[in-house]
Amino acid sequence: MTGSHAFSSSLSLTNRNKTMFILSTPPTFFADPTLRVSSSKPSSSSSIYMRSATPPSPVAAASCSSSSLFSLKVKARDNLASPKDFPAKMAATVSSRTFLNAQNEQELLSGIRKEVEAGSLPPNVAAGMEEVYNNYKNAVFQSGDPKADETVLSNMTVFLDRIFLDVTDPFVFESHHKAKREPFDYYMFGQNYIRPLVDFRNSYVGNMPLFIEIEEKLKQGHNIIFMSNHQTEADPAIISLLLEKRLPYIAENITYVAGDRVINDPLCKPFSIGRNLICVYSKKHMLDDPELIEMKRKANTRSLKEMAVLLRSGSQLIWIAPSGGRDRPDPHTGEWVPAPFDASSVDNMRRLVDHSGPPGHVYPLAILCHDIMPPPMQVEKEIGEKRVISFHGTGLSVAPEISFSETTAACESPEKAKEAYTKAVYDSVIEQYNVLKSAIHSKKGLEASTPEVSLSQPWN
């Protein structure tokens, strides 16, 4: 999923006669991790995601009032068509099962071109679909799976079908989006799509006992905040894939603070629909269109209130990336490191959970998965980034909860306390990240463990 600074300015929310100023940030898949979902008949593969006989409709859950919906008016590039230019032409679609009926690669790619010719698929989206197909195919074949061709065709027929359905009938996200599991199970779809890209033999989880402790606290009604770095659009899927065998409750119930791009990009939306999200407009893109600034701010206020309501109910696990966006390599060294955390974002999220009522805890979380789906080297304004995809090992680690009172006891002012706490959280993420990097990139495996970060492979 994918993200950047959630709110462009401090927002106030009155709760129990206390005013909290919130500035949070976003980023922005349940089976045996070694399972390869494939089918010799791709046209029937979608049935593994269906929970009823009702034909899937990606907008079935969008029947709420317009005031509660979270949508973005995306201006297309001058030389590219926008999906919003096409609704009047949708009756011209070649077939509602153009992609699910494809029996081989030729038929699948031919279906993309036929829909463009029929005027039912924007050329820029079609180009992205074809590019993703080729990149995904190459990545899955890197795994050495003898059934890679079947896996690619099975997963890509469903993926392209979901993209096409959303272009013809766009799904609109609410400020608090709950993962859509039926009649089409978008969560399972995302799991099975990303799974073949993960080299589980070279993937690791740090401090599994802490994750187990966190699940117990959730079941006791506590709130948990993961302060994490953010690497790719696939972060939510990677987190779930690495935890689902031992901790399916956590894998399925994380709520991600997600930037607007992951809920508007046609190639990203099908995965986002399968996750629990708090949808926000990112600070990095807040000023892209002056006409939309006020609308975005109001939407972010609504999202903030949704988050406060969630936390008051207890047993919430929220993932947030205080860096304000995805990590990128150092331009001089080429080394990937977690981007620095924004102190205001960390502090305001901490205060939000502290004032929510139920006990709350903040844990530093590190994720390493940039090799699988690296972001563009620079932040791009336009939606529709190039998707580079690879088969690679991944890593996830959590560190002990960091106490604000203990960390800031010697600080002379609130500002210094805020900076000290942010540094403590960020330093913990860096420490964990370096252990994961040693295990995966330096190929030290489990021997990369330290007294602070104990690595394991819980799927074995």
Q: DSSP readout, 182-200?
A: SSB-HHHHHHHHHGGGB-G
pLDDT digit string, tens, across residues 161-174: 999 999 999 999 98
Choosing among 3.30.750.24, 1.10.760.10, 1.10.1200.50, 3.40.50.2020, the CATH entry for 95-170 is 1.10.1200.50
59 band by pLDDT with thresholds 50, 70 and 90: very low
Is the pLDDT score of 69 beyond 70?
Answer: no
Q: For residues 348 and 118, which has the higher predicted lDDT (pLDDT)?
A: 118
How confident is the model at residue 392, as a pLDDT?
Answer: 98
Model-wide pTM > 0.85: no
* Average per-residue pLDDT for the chain: 81
Helix, strand, coil distribution of the chain in percent, nearest 5: 45, 15, 45
How confident is the model at residue 284, as a pLDDT?
Answer: 63
pLDDT digit string, tens, across residues 235-272: 999 999 999 999 999 999 999 998 877 888 899 999 99
Is the pLDDT score of 29 beyond 60?
Answer: no
Regarding beta strands 223-228 and 360-368, do their DSSP bridges make them parallel or antiparallel, or are they unpaired? Answer: parallel
Q: What is the CA radius of gyration of the chain?
A: 21
378 band by pLDDT with thresholds 50, 70 and 90: low
Regarding beta strands 204-206 and 69-70, do their DSSP bridges make them parallel or antiparallel, or are they unpaired? Answer: unpaired
283 band by pLDDT with thresholds 50, 70 and 90: low
pLDDT digit string, tens, across residues 83-107: 343 333 333 344 458 899 999 999 9
Q: Which residues pair with 227 in a beta bridge?
A: 320, 364
How confident is the model at residue 331, as a pLDDT?
Answer: 83
Amino acid identity of residue 458, one-letter, is P
Contact status, residue 128 vs residue 121, Cβ threshold 8 Å: no
81 band by pLDDT with thresholds 50, 70 and 90: very low
Kindly state the average pLDDT of the residues 39-68: 38
Is the pLDDT score of 33 beyond 70?
Answer: no
Q: For residues 305 and 396, which has the higher predicted lDDT (pLDDT)?
A: 396
Q: For residue 275, which of 394, 181, 356, 355 has the smallest C-alpha distance?
A: 181
Kindly state the average pLDDT of the residues 356-383: 83
How confident is the model at residue 361, as a pLDDT?
Answer: 96
Contact status, residue 457 vs residue 200, Cβ threshold 8 Å: yes
Q: What letters, b where the CB count within 10 A reaches 16 and e where it falls short, cover 285-308?
A: bbeeeeebeeebbebbbbbbbbbb
Kindly state the average pLDDT of the residues 285-311: 82
Distances (CA, A) of 302 to 48, 291, 293, 297, 314: 35, 19, 14, 9, 19
Kindly state the average pLDDT of the residues 42-63: 40
What angle separates helix 235-243 from helix 186-194, to the nearest 10 degrees?
90
Q: What does the alpha-carbon distance between residue 100 and residue 42 come to, in Å, rounded to a whole number?
A: 7
Q: For residues 203 and 294, which has the higher predicted lDDT (pLDDT)?
A: 203
How confident is the model at residue 96, as a pLDDT?
Answer: 59
Q: Which of 145, 169, 288, 289 is catalytic?
A: 169
Least confident of 355-359, 373-377, 441-445: 373-377
65 band by pLDDT with thresholds 50, 70 and 90: very low
- For the sheet with 276-279, list strands across it: 176-177, 276-279, 254-258, 317-320, 223-228, 360-368, 395-398, 204-206, 455-456
371 is catalytic: no
Least confident of 129-133, 296-300, 358-362: 296-300
137 band by pLDDT with thresholds 50, 70 and 90: very high
**Concatenated DSSP letters of 206-275:** E-HHHHHHHHHHHHTT-EEEEEE----TTHHHHHHHHHTTT-HHHHHHEEEEE-GGGGT-TTTHHHHTTS
Q: For residue 45, which of 197, 171, 147, 143 has the smallest C-alpha distance?
A: 147
377 band by pLDDT with thresholds 50, 70 and 90: low
37 band by pLDDT with thresholds 50, 70 and 90: very low
How confident is the model at residue 385, as a pLDDT?
Answer: 56
Question: May I ask the CATH class of domain 171-456?
Answer: alpha beta
Q: What does the alpha-carbon distance between residue 125 and residue 146 come to, in Å, rounded to a whole number?
A: 31
Q: For residue 56, which of 138, 165, 155 has the smallest C-alpha distance?
A: 165
How confident is the model at residue 111, as a pLDDT?
Answer: 96
Q: What does the alpha-carbon distance between residue 85 and residue 93 come to, in Å, rounded to a whole number?
A: 15
82 band by pLDDT with thresholds 50, 70 and 90: very low
Contact status, residue 206 vs residue 366, Cβ threshold 8 Å: yes
Is the pLDDT score of 195 beyond 80?
Answer: yes
